[in-house]
Structure 1
Amino acid sequence: MTDTTSQLDSATIDLDDAVPTSWSPTTWFAVISMAATSFALVSAEFLPAGLLTPMARDLGVSEGTAGQVVTATASVGAVTALLSNVLIGKLDRKTVLVGLSALAIISNLLAAFATDFWLLLLGRAGLGIALSGFWALSVAVVARLVGTNATGRGMAIVTLGVSLATIAAPSMGALISDWIGWRAATALTAGLAAIAMLLQILSLPSLPANTSNSLSDVFRLTKRRTVQLGMLAILMLMTGHFAGSVYVRPFLEQVTLLDTGPIALALLGFGVASVFGNFVGGRLADANVRIALAVTGGLMAFSAVSLVLWGVNSSVAFTLVTSWGLAFGMAPVVLPTNLSRGASDALEAAGSLMVVSFQVAISIGALFGGFAVDHFGASAPLTLTSILAAATLALALLQPRT
């Protein structure tokens, strides 16, 4: 890595020693502002799930076409993640984060007032930039706020916003849309981003850049064995999760034979368990990230394969969907922490690789999960989940102990 990159190593180590185990109110406020930002951004990302029908009708497009707003967000996000830390150069990271929140506000308002589908897509593309830029910086910023030895705990609080948004955004979006329209629901996400931006301005300290990454620095990082294993863990576990989780509802309908009400209750259990998973994952990751990754992969593999074998029983299915949610809640904390341990001197570049790995895994998982359910039935995607999660468990046990 470059000399400028190595400066981050010294800064991180010094900061880690300086930050006490017990966080000050100022530190808590800063970390909570990051959690509020993740909640605002992910709420906007998942909102279309509850707005698709009225959105499509209003803009005069099919629901399938309207669904491409999600694709636009993910596609732009994947490309931006690779370039974000190169483009921001030596800018103060607080300024960058505030700017990304401002972009989210503008993008959500553009989507809310879009007069045609292409303006809606443009707004969603802007949201993709804000999302990927935030997540690419998140681990490095949290490490500077709380110290590298508490990164898992800090990221657990930040990703709590993801779990809460996953539970709330689709359902609340649908309710608000029915009440005052889909445009108002979209505009409300701009309000959430504005609150997050205000919290950032008030709470985040100045975060001068310790490094200016080049694209070659980012790619050079992929030559490290620990980084390769960290990216592989993300690709396997998240591909497996998204291959199966998207099709949990069809499984519960066709195999467990549940009606809509019990299915909604099961999915609520999944979401609530994921919140607890955030905190469990944070504690385990700080104590021993290798074991934390093994537990996450093992629990997801057990949940998925057990659903395939015994999911006809409704009580068993409820329990296993909940345990899957616990594993999913652990993953967004454990996986980035695992990857960052191999790049403590280049956390921002590692953040870019982390976001790209997640986006690629989501795309591959949805593709293969759809193929499996269409050709082999409702149990097939869950079988794929169990195989890839078990492979992640094996990878964790084979990783170096340091």
Structure 2
Amino acid sequence: MVSVRSNNTLNSPDKTYWSAIFALFMGVTSLIAAEFIPVSLLTPIAHDLHITEGQAGQSITMVGIFAVITSLLLAPLTKKINRKSVLLTLSILLILSNVIVALAPNYFMMLIGRTILGICVGGFWSMASAVVLQLAPSKNIPRALSIVYAGVSVATIISLPLASYLGNIIGWRNIFLIAAALSFIALIFQLFALPTLPPNRHNNFKNMFALLKQNWVLMGIIGTVFSYGGYHLFFTYLRPFLDHNLALQANPLTLVLLVFGLTNCLGTFIAGLILGRFFRPIMIGMHIVLACIAILLLSSIGDMTIKIVLIMIWGFIFGFITVGWSTWITRTLADKAELIGGLLVAAIQFSIGMAAGIGGFTFDNFGIGAIFIASTLIFIMAAIITTFCFSLYKHATGKLA
């Protein structure tokens, strides 16, 4: 069993619990797949429940809202509960969420299921990094984290091309039942693979929010909101764009979503290789590149090939966003990773929910062109805020991020 140091951080274990690491990978895969399956199924979900695609997209907003709340509350409220028990409880709720959505007779019940998913997302992600620190010695932490976060890329492939392809064959409801089965497998894996994971009793609201009194930390959180928000504003409505604007049929659409997921995986891998050497210019530059892509998507009217290539680049650059902000924590707040984790998850989920909400209203009332304009403006703001964050950090610490 791992123990707790007097300085509020967890001792590294003597060995790496690789089976537990892969159990967390399974949990991340099933969790993120469930969160974003609606992205590839917005059109059939909307048709079956007699709602607009913008309303269907709000199901992602519900996940974001409750993920924000849970990510901020879970660690302080469960500071005396074994982390394994908390993780297993979240996995059970994940299964319940997928089943409720699959069987939902109406839009209201679907939102209930997605609300439960939001609790799972916020809870799991706020604990993930801290749990990994209890499962691997310091020398294996980067490798362990890369395995866990690889679940996001795998989930992207599951929730986009695979869900889209199977949804055309067996219907969107059965896709959520398959997601429930995947979640059940993850639960069993975690039950047997996870060791006892004692909580950190020093997790509390006072220590968490004290971080926000540092201007550069607050700027980093706001930068994260704009960074993820700008990306997800278009990502949430990618399926309707491919359906309506590019008029792709089932098989070409599935192929595009598959390549999108693969380019996202590639971007995550490449980011891990080069961010350490070019951290600051990449963190600023990736937002500028995404803003340019949004402008080009808006202006390349009628040219399907160019638009598809731009969408692939969009997915590729997202890998830099996920790895980039995680790297920001390790470079600037490594000693407070557990506390900042809840705040960062709250920021990310808030941005995803905000993007789905704003995007739904914008898409329904003004069309996809307005989505691209909004994304451009948000990414420009993200670049400015990120630059400001680095400047404040240097001023406060005398060091470069």
Question: TM-score with structure 1 length normalisation?
Answer: 0.79
Task: Identify which of 371, 374, 382 aligns with 1:381.
Answer: 374
Task: Identify which of 59, 62, 74 aligns with 1:69.
Answer: 59
Superposed displacement of residue 101, structure 1: 0.7
| Bigger mean CA deviation after superposition, 385-394 or 92-101 | 385-394
Superposed displacement of residue 267, structure 1: 4.4
SS at match of 1:220: helix
Query: What CA distance in whole angstroms lies between the structure 2 residues aligned with 1:330 and 1:344?
Result: 19
Superposed displacement of residue 132, structure 1: 0.8
Task: Give the equivalent residue in structure 2 for 1:362.
Answer: 352
Query: What CA distance in whole angstroms lies between the structure 1 residues aligned with 2:283 and 2:144?
Result: 17
Amino acid at match of 2:248: T
Q: Percent identity?
A: 32
1:229 counterpart = 2:222 = no
Q: Is the 8 A contact 1:269 1:325 kept in 2?
A: no
1:139 counterpart = 2:132 = no
Against the structure 1 CA distance between its residues 6 and 275, is the aligned structure 2 distance closer, same or farther, given a 3 Å change threshold? farther
The correspondence of residues 146-225 of structure 1 with structure 2, limited to 5 A, is 146=136, 153-225=143-215
Q: Is the 8 A contact 2:300 2:307 kept in 1?
A: yes
Query: What CA distance in whole angstroms lies between the structure 1 residues aligned with 2:224 and 2:387?
Result: 13
Task: Give the equivalent residue in structure 2 for 1:391.
Answer: 384
| Bigger mean CA deviation after superposition, 162-171 or 355-364 | 162-171
The correspondence of residues 273-288 of structure 1 with structure 2, limited to 5 A, is 273-285=263-275
Task: Give the equivalent residue in structure 1 for 2:343.
Answer: 353
Task: Give the equivalent residue in structure 1 for 2:7.
Answer: 7
Amino acid at match of 1:388: M
Query: What CA distance in whole angstroms lies between the structure 2 residues aligned with 1:330 and 1:292?
Result: 8
The correspondence of residues 73-92 of structure 1 with structure 2, limited to 5 A, is 73-92=63-82
The correspondence of residues 108-123 of structure 1 with structure 2, limited to 5 A, is 108-115=98-105, 117-123=107-113
| Bigger mean CA deviation after superposition, 183-192 or 282-291 | 282-291
Task: Give the equivalent residue in structure 1 for 2:88.
Answer: 98
| Bigger mean CA deviation after superposition, 164-173 or 229-238 | 164-173
Query: What CA distance in whole angstroms lies between the structure 1 residues aligned with 2:323 and 2:211?
Result: 21
Superposed displacement of residue 365, structure 1: 3.4
1:260 counterpart = 2:253 = no
Q: Is the 8 A contact 1:156 1:281 kept in 2?
A: no
Amino acid at match of 1:387: I
RMSD: 3.7
Q: Is the 8 A contact 1:300 1:324 kept in 2?
A: yes
Against the structure 1 CA distance between its residues 197 and 314, is the aligned structure 2 distance closer, same or farther, given a 3 Å change threshold? same
Query: What CA distance in whole angstroms lies between the structure 2 residues aligned with 1:302 and 1:57?
Result: 33
Against the structure 1 CA distance between its residues 276 and 148, is the aligned structure 2 distance closer, same or farther, given a 3 Å change threshold? farther
Superposed displacement of residue 33, structure 1: 1.8
Amino acid at match of 2:162: M
Query: What CA distance in whole angstroms lies between the structure 1 residues aligned with 2:172 and 2:218?
Result: 42
Query: What CA distance in whole angstroms lies between the structure 1 residues aligned with 2:229 and 2:168?
Result: 34
Superposed displacement of residue 135, structure 1: 0.7
Against the structure 1 CA distance between its residues 303 and 395, is the aligned structure 2 distance closer, same or farther, given a 3 Å change threshold? farther
1:330 counterpart = 2:320 = yes
SS at match of 2:156: helix
Against the structure 1 CA distance between its residues 253 and 76, is the aligned structure 2 distance closer, same or farther, given a 3 Å change threshold? closer
> How many pairs align?
387
Unpaired runs of 5+ residues, structure 2, are 395-399
Query: What CA distance in whole angstroms lies between the structure 1 residues aligned with 2:389 and 2:304?
Result: 32
Query: What CA distance in whole angstroms lies between the structure 2 residues aligned with 1:64 and 1:249?
Result: 12
Q: Is the 8 A contact 2:58 2:356 kept in 1?
A: no
Unpaired runs of 5+ residues, structure 1, are none
Task: Give the equivalent residue in structure 2 for 1:344.
Answer: 334
Task: Give the equivalent residue in structure 1 for 2:27.
Answer: 37
Question: TM-score with structure 2 length normalisation?
Answer: 0.79
Query: What CA distance in whole angstroms lies between the structure 2 residues aligned with 1:240 and 1:310?
Result: 20
Superposed displacement of residue 368, structure 1: 5.2
Against the structure 1 CA distance between its residues 62 and 161, is the aligned structure 2 distance closer, same or farther, given a 3 Å change threshold? same
Q: Is the 8 A contact 1:104 1:127 kept in 2?
A: yes
Superposed displacement of residue 338, structure 1: 1.3
Query: What CA distance in whole angstroms lies between the structure 1 residues aligned with 2:349 and 2:106?
Result: 27
